[in-house]
């Protein structure tokens, strides 16, 4: 089974590899696709770019911090 591939000049890692590297534990891939991660379905597996995972994680962290600040201010 492949754990990475190159498509359109971008490196994609398998969902399994991302989970093993703790990049996306416990997340549903269908839900992640809806938040605009760069995902591709190939050879019966989901593949995703690490860059899009890191960007998603960063955006989620910023959103959580903003919500926390609003709660503190109120």
Grouped pLDDT means (10 residues each) for the chain, 74 residues = 85 84 62 72 85 80 74 74
User: Which range of residues forms the domain containing residue 47?
Assistant: 4-73
Contacts (Cβ under 8 Å, ≥6 apart) of 48: 12, 13, 15, 18, 24, 29, 32, 37, 38, 39, 40
Q: What is the CA radius of gyration of the chain?
A: 15
> Which residue's structure tokens are 């926390």?
68
Number of domains in the chain: 1
pTM, 2 dp: 0.63
So what's the pLDDT on residue 1?
65
Question: What does the alpha-carbon distance between residue 73 and residue 54 come to, in Å, rounded to a whole number?
Answer: 29
């Amino acid at each position: 089974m492949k754990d990475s591939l190159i498509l359109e000049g971008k490196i994609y890692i398998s969902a399994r590899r991302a989970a093993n590297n703790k990049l996306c534990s416990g997340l549903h891939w269908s839900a992640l696709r809806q938040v605009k991660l760069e995902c591709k379905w190939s050879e019966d597996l989901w593949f995703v770019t690490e860059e899009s995972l890191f960007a998603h994680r960063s955006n989620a962290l910023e959103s959580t911090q903003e919500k926390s600040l609003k709660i503190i201010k109120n």
